[in-house]
Amino acid sequence: MTIAETTMPTATCTQPILQVEELHTHFAARHASGGRRLVRAVDGVSFSIAPGETLAVVGESGCGKSTVGRTVVRLINPTSGRIVLEGEDITRTREKQLRPLRRKMQMVFQDPYSSLDPHMTVGEAIAEPLEIHGLLDRSRRRARVLELLERVGLGAQYLDRYPHEFSGGQRQRVGIARALTLNPKLIIADEPVSALDVSIQAQVINLLLDLQQQLGLAYLFISHDLAVVRHISDRVAVMYLGRIVELAATEQLFAAPLHPYTDALLASAPRTSRKGSRKPLSGEVPDPANPPAGCAFHPRCRFAQARCRAEAPPLRDLAPGRFAGCHFPLTGT
Amino acid sequence: MQASDTSTAPRDLLMVRDLRVEFQSQRGSALVVDGISYNVRAGETVALVGESGCGKSVSSMALLGLLARSTARVSGQALLGGAELIGMPPRALEDVRGRDISMIFQEPMTSLNPSLTVGTQIAEVLQRHRGLSVRQALAEAVGLLSLVQIPNPARRVFDYPHHLSGGQRQRVMIAIAIACRPKLLIADEPTTALDVTIQAQILDLLAELQQRFGMGLLLITHDLGVVAEIADRALVMYAGRIVEEAEARELFAHPRHPYTRGLMAARPQVTASHRRGRLAEIPGSVPIRTAQSVGCAFAERCSYVQPRCRAETPAQADKGRGHRVACWQADAIPRLPVEAVA
């Protein structure tokens, strides 16, 4: 069984809502010295998401997690690989034909302020996708917008207000309402709660959980925050320098990480109760345009050996539903 | 009221008393800092923790005279080693900043000059406050870069800020901040913009430098996890007031204020046993306070609210061992850790 074929153990017989196989997204980056270099922002990533499931993609800045999200919704064109949405290959679908597909998947961004037009009322912003797709007449559109506002915990009184009149948490609710307008089955959420205060973050996480239950949504939840991920996701994919280094059910991954990088990420996360001392990971993420040979993590890895410097470890099936790309995975003891 | 009756121990480095900051605008006035009092001792890390708009950053900028005099009205006392900072003439304050108190911010790129090498920027502080020559100052800049654990410091002094990663830029800011061995370092969300692995490195570096030089460290943060990692004492702020103060360990073991408890319960944790599902919410949002506001600012969001809470602003009460709480209902709230009641 390949990784792309696996989903939640309970959902293996249903067709995945999204299937991503060997996805590559490369960019030509200009170097300070003037030369052009290739950045493999996404370098062979495979996963799938079952209907109603949440897969989190977690990692530090520059690991490629956001590029994965943007490539999947085709805001960026992939270099190679396959993106399959409900059985339909959309990897090379042309812009015009993408429109009906966008009804099935929508994106929610970190800062809704930058994705909302400041001159549009919230009502207009939420209705816009309906206009673009020529759906519903005027009065039905209004009813739909009111229903959506209600669903995200904002009342009808917000209909004619402008984005600047909203707090960060309220704007994210508007961003979510807009994403829901066309009844998508999959939401790609890129750091949706990262800019919010803790008490507001909890409100938005709860809203996402409620909406998932009510509407059967699947989420591709992109985040740098392990604690949030632990709370919201069924499965977690950990990315480092363009690749998935570990993929597992949330509970398993947090209980006993197999990849030393996952282990280090967990150890670095600040926590209010700590047993024993924290051993911070040394060094920084290498330049993605000039990744280390062999395993990209080896310069920072406590367990690195000669083989790690020479040979890139493939993502391997180490236990049912558990994958890690490491020559010497942790035993989980 | 407040903590003004607390006696000053000889090691108290900074003593803040009844600090108030009111902002005036065309739309009216807002009381952003509403009479806060606290001490920071030499070698101690005190965290000022709270959510956006609670006044934590504004209160520390007021100490350093960094607020525009035209819009911000600052009153109260702030004694640093006996010198009163509030109302100090700008010239004198310039001598204090960078020499006796330094401050680092969340985004080092906005504090660093993009057109000067990092060496020059560190050297400037040494020339300004210690009268070193350019050559001496640059030589010392190399030493400071090595102190903040930047590899190849002799080469990196010639780098411009854009050559450095976010973590390295924050290290450079720390080098500038400690160049004159200040008595007090104010760190305003120093790791918020950084990745977790880099955040852990910077927190360790701050703790190490503090121990080495015996500085007081005033850490301003929204993140209770960061407080738990490095603070000795924590002051929880809400709507301009300190609502709870305790030793960090005591605070996490026995949070007493409903707001503190709410924050702890709302915070997703990597250590909690895996419970996918709803988090505890604090309903509503933070109110805007004016000089005329009465009652507890948290009353509208509090599940323990009683009529008295809306009528009278709660004073801080000492609950023993330096644990102070500003809540009329503090004794009615279960004293269990948050996880046990969640």
For chain B, counts of helices (H) and of strands (E): 13, 12
CA-to-CA distance for B174 and B147, rounded, in angstroms?
10
In the numeric block, the tokens 């407040």 are attached to: B2
Residues whose CB is less than 8 angstroms from the CB of residue A281 and which lie 6 or more positions away in sequence, other chains included: A264, A267, A268, A300, B197, B200, B201
CA-to-CA distance for A56 and B231, rounded, in angstroms?
31
Residues whose CB is less than 8 angstroms from the CB of residue A88 and which lie 6 or more positions away in sequence, other chains included: A101
pLDDT on residue A33: 63
**Tokens at B339, concatenated:** 């996880």
d(CA A279, nearest CA chain B) in Å: 9
pLDDT on residue B337: 62
Query: Cβ of A91: how many Cβ atoms within 10 Å?
Result: 17
User: Which chain B residues are within 8 Å of A197, Cβ to Cβ?
Assistant: 51-52, 222
d(CA A285, nearest CA chain B) in Å: 9
Greatest CA separation for chain B: 67
User: Which chain A residues are within 8 Å of B279, Cβ to Cβ?
Assistant: 202, 205-206, 231
Instruction: Tell me the CA distances in angstroms from A103 to A11, A107, A115, A147, A176, one per residue in order.
Output: 23, 11, 18, 18, 14
CA-to-CA distance for A331 and A116, rounded, in angstroms?
47
* Strand partners of residue A25: A42
Which residue from B248, B126, B148 is spatially nearest to B207, judged by alpha carbons?
B148
Count of alpha carbons within 13 Å of B254, Cβ hemisphere only?
16
Torsion over CA of B229, B232, B233 and B236, rounded to 10 degrees? -10
B198–A contact, CB cutoff 8 A: yes
pTM above 0.95, yes or no: no
> For residue range A237-256, what is the model confidence (pLDDT) as tens digits?
999 999 999 999 999 999 99
* Averaged pLDDT, A275-304: 87
* Averaged pLDDT, A172-179: 94
* Helices of type H across chain A: 65-72, 95-102, 112-115, 122-132, 138-151, 168-180, 198-215, 226-232, 250-255, 260-268, 306-310
Find the residue in A nearest to B204 (Cα).
A280
pLDDT on residue B229: 92
Find the residue in B nearest to A169 (Cα).
B285
Q: How many CB pairs below 8 A link A and B?
A: 129
Q: Supply the DSSP symbol for A27.
A: E
Residues whose CB is less than 8 angstroms from the CB of residue B88 and which lie 6 or more positions away in sequence, other chains included: B65, B96
State which residues of chain B have pLDDT below 70: 1-10, 272-275, 336-342
pLDDT on residue A276: 52
CA-to-CA distance for A307 and A285, rounded, in angstroms?
20
Count of alpha carbons within 13 Å of A50, Cβ hemisphere only?
15
Residue A333: pLDDT band (50, 70, 90) is: very low
* Strand partners of residue A21: A82
For chain A, the 3-state helix, strand and coil shares in percent, each to the nearest 5, are 35, 25, 40
Query: Cβ of B1: how many Cβ atoms within 10 Å?
Result: 12
Residue A55: pLDDT band (50, 70, 90) is: very high
pLDDT on residue B191: 94
Give the length of chain B: 342
Q: Cβ–Cβ of A205/B52 closer than 8 Å? A: no
Greatest CA separation for chain A: 68
| Contact yes or no for A236/A247 (Cβ under 8 A) | yes
Mean per-residue pLDDT of chain A = 90
Among A101-115, A145-159, A209-223, B305-319, the least confident range: A101-115
Q: Supply the DSSP symbol for B151.
A: S
Higher pLDDT among residues A274 and B83, named by residue: B83
Residue A10 has pLDDT above 60, yes or no: no
| Contact yes or no for A295/A260 (Cβ under 8 A) | no
Among A62-66, A68-72, A288-292, B176-180, the least confident range: A288-292
Single-letter amino acid code for the residue at A196:
L
